[in-house]
Amino acid sequence: MSDDERLPPRPAWRTDFPVERAEAQHVNRREFAKYLVLVSGGFAAGSGMIAIKDDLVAQPELPEGGARLCGIDELPVGASLPFVVPGTNVPAFVVRLDEATYRAYETKCTHLSCAVFYAPESGRIECPCHNGAFDARSGAVLQGPPPRGLRRFAVEVRGGDLVLTGEERS
C-alpha cells in the first residue's frame, strides 16, 4: 500500500483553496502597505490638528488690567508660588529672584511636558525627567534635551500686589 492510499481523501475545497493554515496567518506586502498608509495618514491628520489648534481655538484672555497672583510680601526672595493661569487650566509658577525681579513660567518642560520646578540653591528651573535645566531669569535652555525655552508670562508689581498681565511672546 502506498502512502497516498493510507491518507484520508482530500476534501474538494482544499483543491480550490490550496492555502495552508500557517500561510493564511501571514500578512502580505499589499496588506502591510495598506496598513502603513492608514496609520501614517492618521498620524499626519493628528499632527496637523495639533499644529493648527492654537489658530482655531480662541485663547482665553485675562481680565482687563490683569489678574492678581499674590501680595509681594507673600513671596519671599528665592521662593516660588504655583498658580493656574486664569481662564485656562495651564499650571504655572512665579519666582521672586531678588527684591524687585519676578518671573512667571508655565510648569511644563518643552521636551516631554514633565513638571519643572525652581531650585533656589542653583538659581535654575529644573526638569527631573531628563536632567533638563532652564535659566530662571530668561527661561532659556541651559542643559538637557529641551528644544526651546519655557513659556513665559508677564508679571508686574502694582501697589503691594503681583499681577499677571499676559503672555510674553519670544
Contact 167, 154 (CB under 8 A): yes
Give pLDDT tens digits for 78-101.
999 999 988 888 899 999 999 889
Below-50 pLDDT ranges, the chain: none
- Within this chain, do residues 73 and 154 fall inside the same structural domain, yes or no? yes
- Within this chain, do residues 71 and 90 fall inside the same structural domain, yes or no? yes
Provide the pLDDT for residue 54: 63
* HSE (side-chain half, CA atoms, 13 Å) at 68: 8
Residue 138: which domain range? 67-168
> Is residue 62 in a domain?
no
CATH code, domain with 157: 2.102.10.10
Contact 150, 134 (CB under 8 A): yes
> Is residue 5 in a domain?
no
